[in-house]
Amino acid sequence: MLIVSTKHVDLAAENIPTQQLLNVAGERVPDAELDHYVAKLTESDLADFLRDMVVLRRMDTEATALQRQGQLGLWAPLLGQEAAQIGSVRAARDTDFIFPSYREHGVAWARGVKAEDLLSVWRGAQASGWDPHEVNIACQQIVIGSQALHAAGYGMGIKFDGGNEAAIAYFGDGATSQGDVNEAMVFAASYQAPVLFFCQNNQWAISEPVTLQSRTQIADRAHGFGLKTWRVDGNDVLAVYAATQAALSHCRNGMGPTFIEAVTYRMGSHTTADDPTRYRKAAELEQWKAKDPIDRLIKYLHVIGADVQSYEQRAQNAADELAAQLRAAITAMPDPQVDQLFDNVYAEAHEPSRRARDEYMNYLAGFEGDGR
């Protein structure tokens, strides 16, 4: 008879410290390792971080509203994770190739993907909204964790070609329980490939808390594969930026793959098809609201004596402009033709696909109005 113990084992002694440069009060916290990477950031850079996060939050809010109004089929909100996404992507080089999951809207937008192209996939108007090679970011991956394997393979290619770029894979805490992510770390470590595995630990894998799937910190899992790891406050844009710089530097110097666990919180639902009130308590949400990444940066700007009002107004203007352009583009976006479903499935002519198209179109033609 198999007996499974549910008793929690305290592994705190093995835990990796959670690094932070800004506390919840917006006060600067020194860190011997990370301070170096933010030393050259100017007040203007901080204002740009603020603008990016405010615009991203507005895009997320607008997308959620568009889904509720029937303009999108689904949306995966990122509310609360703005610092984790903006801080990390702004630390990468344009030549680094990024492999995102379905929630890295901010990473794609910051890379130059237009908001309307990003949302077109969630509307069902396109199979993919952009050319990955134009912005060095792959299209969003719905299958949990598979992008980690893509990043590992790309990183191995960089290593074999002698390049100095890096591959970056984004995923959530839930994906670390998937075989693909673990296998990707094995390959990356075995070949010492320049890959950064960036985990946004937002505390919930749909309705399952992170404490259920991992009895210790997520970063400990990567450490076990031999990866250099960091665990940072994911709501601290400076800490995320600095840790990403450190991790990518490690990769570029031929020291092997790295892993960052950015501890953040998913303030909204898993997707717009989810109701988080069914599985998490309101008190928990309130606790994390006090750690809001945008509020924290604003507080820090006040601490350093910046003209916060002008920076906030600039950010708000940029957010309003994007929201208006996004809504106009989405509501005017035409629906695709049915036969386009079969386009680009294969790179070359494919007889089974042609037959499938013909059969499906003949099927639709049997309905009134031709079904198109």
Catalytic residue annotation: 266, 270, 279
Q: 231-255 burial string, b = 16+ CB within 10 Å, else e?
A: bbbbbbbbbbbbbbbbbbebbbeee
DSSP H helical segments within the chain, as ranges? 35-38, 43-68, 82-89, 105-110, 115-123, 132-135, 146-161, 179-190, 210-213, 218-224, 237-252, 282-289, 293-303, 308-331, 351-365
Bridge partners of 195? 167
* Residue type at 300 in one-letter notation: Y
Cα(242)–Cα(145) distance, integer angstroms: 25
Cα(340)–Cα(337) distance, integer angstroms: 6
Cα(136)–Cα(153) distance, integer angstroms: 15
Closest CA to 107 of 216, 8, 200: 200
For the chain, state the CA radius of gyration: 22
